[in-house]
C-alpha cells in the first residue's frame, strides 16, 4: 500500500543521526571480532551506567532473537513463561521462544491496557507441577507495554514479589524501555526485579540492534555459545554496539524518547476519536470503525488495527509536530 507510514510503527522511522554518526565514527581501521572489540566494551559500559548495574551486555540484531534467547536461558524445554496475552512474545514472534527454547511454552494472561497484576499471576503460580502440563517457570514483562502504558518501579516490584517468592526468574522485554524511562520509569530499579532484560535500540533510533542485559551471574556462563548457536554472535559486532554509544553517551536516547512521547500526547489531544488506553509512552490507540479506517487509508495514511480492535498510531524520534497536525486534520475530515 502506498502512502504515509509515519504512524504505522516506530520501526518505520529512519535511524537517528547520533546512531549513524557512531557507525561512521567507529568504521575506521581493524578491530577484534565477535564482541572482543573496544567499541562493544564501551557500549556495554554505557548500558551498565544507564541501568546502574553490574551486568553482562551483548548486542544482537532483533528484539525477537533477543527475547527468545533470553527466555531460553532461564527456562527448561518443558517449562512455560507467564506473560501478558498481547505481549510481543505471545503474538508477534512466530513461536520463537519455543524454537530457541526447544519447546518452552507460554502462559498468556489478561490485564488492562497491556499490564499484568499480581492477581493475574496467582493462578499459574499456585498450580502444582504436573507431568502432563508445562508449569509456570518464569515471568516475562514488557515496559513500555504493547499498549503504550508504563509500569512504575513500584508496580514492577509488586509484580515480581510473588514470582521471586516462588523462586522463579524474570525477563523484561524493553523494546521501548527508553520511552518508559522518558515517561518516568527509573531504569536503575531493573536490576532489583530482573534476571535478564532486553534493552531496545531499534525502536529508540538505532539501526537494527538490541542489547541483552544479563543481571544474574549464573546466566552468564557460555552465553556467547548460546548466541553463536542462535546465529546472533555477529563477527563485526562493533556495528551492532556502535549505535548504542551514539544514543547513550550524551543522552540522545532519552531526548528522542521524550520527543516521541510528547508527539503521542499531542496526537491524543488532537484526535476526534475516543482514546482507548492511557497515553503514557509513544502510542495512541483509538476506537475507529472499519469504514472510517478505510477512509483514512484512502486518504494516504497507513496504520494498523491492533489486537484489541482499536487502531494504533505510533510516534517515534522522527515524528514531527507538523506530521501530527497533518494527521489530526485528516482524522477530523474522515471522522
Instruction: Give the residue extent of every domain in the chain.
Output: 17-248, 252-334
Whole-number pLDDT of residue 1: 45
| Phi/psi of residue 173, nearest 5 degrees | -90, 105
Within this chain, domains 17-248 and 252-334 share the same CATH topology: no
For the cut 90, the answer to whether the pLDDT of residue 209 exceeds it is yes
Query: Could you report the per-residue pLDDT of 136-194, keeping only the tens digit for each?
Result: 999 999 999 999 999 999 999 999 999 999 999 999 999 999 999 999 999 999 999 99
- Confidence band for 260, pLDDT divided at 50, 70 and 90: very high
Selection from 297, 302, 197, 314 nearest residue 257 by Cα? 314
Q: Which CATH architecture has domain 252-334?
A: Alpha-Beta Complex (3.90)
Local structure of 309: helix, strand or coil: coil
Q: What is the pLDDT of residues 266-287, one digit of tens each?
A: 999 999 999 999 999 999 999 9
Alpha helical stretches, state H, 114-251: 118-126, 153-165, 177-182, 190-193, 223-229, 238-248
- The fold adopted by the segment(s) 17-248 is 3.40.640
- The radius of gyration of the chain from alpha carbons, rounded to an integer in Å, stands at 20
pTM here is 0.96
Amino acid at each position: 500500500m502506498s502512502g504515509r507510514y509515519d504512524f504505522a510503527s516506530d520501526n518505520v522511522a529512519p535511524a537517528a543521526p547520533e546512531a549513524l554518526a557512531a557507525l561512521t565514527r567507529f568504521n575506521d581501521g581493524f578491530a577484534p571480532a565477535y564482541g572482543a572489540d573496544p567499541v562493544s566494551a564501551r557500549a556495554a559500559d554505557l548500558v551498565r551506567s544507564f541501568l546502574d548495574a553490574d551486568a553482562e551486555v551483548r548486542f544482537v540484531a532483533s528484539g525477537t532473537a533477543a527475547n527468545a534467547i533470553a527466555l531460553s536461558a532461564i527456562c527448561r524445554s518443558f517449562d512455560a513463561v507467564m506473560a501478558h496475552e498481547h505481549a510481543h512474545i505471545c503474538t508477534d514472534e512466530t513461536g520463537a521462544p519455543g524454537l530457541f527454547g526447544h519447546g518452552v511454552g507460554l502462559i498468556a494472561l489478561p490485564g488492562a491496557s497491556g499490564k499484568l497484576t499480581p492477581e493475574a499471576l496467582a493462578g499459574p503460580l499456585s498450580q502444582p507441577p504436573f507431568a502432563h502440563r508445562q508449569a509456570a517457570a518464569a515471568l516475562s514483562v514488557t515496559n513500555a507495554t504493547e499498549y503504550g502504558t508504563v509500569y512504575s518501579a513500584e508496580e514492577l516490584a509488586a509484580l515480581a514479589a510473588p514470582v521471586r517468592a516462588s523462586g522463579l526468574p524474570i525477563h523484561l522485554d524493553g523494546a521501548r524501555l527508553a520511552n518508559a524511562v522518558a515517561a518516568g520509569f527509573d531504569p536503575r530499579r531493573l536490576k532489583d526485579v530482573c534476571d535478564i532484560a532486553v534493552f531496545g535500540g531499534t525502536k529508540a533510533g538505532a539501526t537494527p540492534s538490541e542489547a541483552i542485559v544479563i543481571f544474574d551471574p549464573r546466566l552468564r556462563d557460555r552465553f556467547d555459545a548460546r548466541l553463536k548457536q542462535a546465529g546472533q554472535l555477529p563477527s563485526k559486532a562493533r556495528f551492532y554496539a556502535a549505535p548504542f554509544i551514539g544514543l547513550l553517551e550524551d543522552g540522545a536516547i532519552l531526548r528522542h524518547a521524550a520527543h516521541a512521547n510528547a508527539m503521542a500526547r499531542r496526537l491524543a489531544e488532537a484526535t476526534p476519536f475516543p482514546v482507548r488506553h492511557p497515553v503514557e509512552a509513544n502510542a495512541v490507540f483509538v476506537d475507529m470503525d472499519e469504514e472510517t479506517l478505510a477512509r483514512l487509508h484512502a486518504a494516504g495514511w497507513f496504520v494498523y488495527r491492533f489486537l484489541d480492535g482499536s487502531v494504533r498510531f505510533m510516534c517515534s524520534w522522527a515524528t514531527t509536530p507538523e506530521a501530527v497536525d497533518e494527521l489530526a486534520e485528516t482524522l477530523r475530515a474522515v471522522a
